[in-house]
Copies of this chain bind each other. A is one copy, B any other.
Amino acid sequence: MSTGAQAVVDAGGEALTRVMERVERRMAELATGHGPVLARYAGDTIAAGGKRLRPLLVCIAAGAPPPETDGLVRAAVAVELVHGATLVHDDVLDGSALRRGRPTVVASGGRALATATGDLLFSRAFAELAGGGSAGAVRVLSRASRELALGELAQRADVFDTEVSVTRYLHRCRLKTAVLFRAACELGALEADGGDPDALGDFGERIGLAFQILDDVLDVSGPPERTGKPRGADLLDGTVTLPLILARERDPELAELDVRTVRTAADAAVVCDQITDTGALATARARAQELVAHAKLELPPLPARQRAALELAADVMVERFA
Contacts and interface: CB of A to CB of B under 8 A. Distances in A.
A119 B135 contact: no
Interface string A124-151: 1011011111110011011101101110
Main secondary structure of the interface of A (DSSP, over half): helix
Interface residues of A, number: 46
A116 B93 contact: yes
A321 B37 CA distance: 33
Contacts of A141: 126
A112 to B, nearest CB: 4
Q: How many copies does the complex hold?
A: 2
B146 A123 contact: yes
A134 B133 CA distance: 8
A115 to B, nearest CB: 5
A92 interface: yes
Contact of A112 (B93, B122, B146): B93
Contacts of A120: 146, 149-150, 153
Contact of A156 (B113, B138, B152): B113
24 contacts: A35-B150, A37-B150, A37-B153, A37-B157, A38-B153, A41-B153, A85-B119, A92-B111, A92-B115, A93-B115, A111-B111, A112-B152, A116-B152, A117-B153, A118-B119, A119-B148, A119-B149, A123-B142, A123-B148, A126-B138, A126-B141, A127-B139, A133-B135, A135-B138
Per CB-CB distance, the 9 closest pairs between chain A and chain B, nearest first, are: A123-B145, A120-B149, A127-B142, A130-B138, A126-B142, A123-B146, A119-B149, A116-B152, A93-B112
Given A41-B153, A119-B149, A120-B149, 14 more contacts: A37-B150, A37-B157, A38-B150, A89-B115, A116-B152, A119-B148, A119-B152, A122-B149, A123-B145, A123-B148, A126-B126, A127-B146, A134-B135, A135-B135
Interface of A: 34-35, 37-38, 41, 85-86, 89, 92-93, 111-113, 115-120, 122-124, 126-127, 129-135, 138-139, 141-143, 145-146, 148-150, 152-154, 156-157
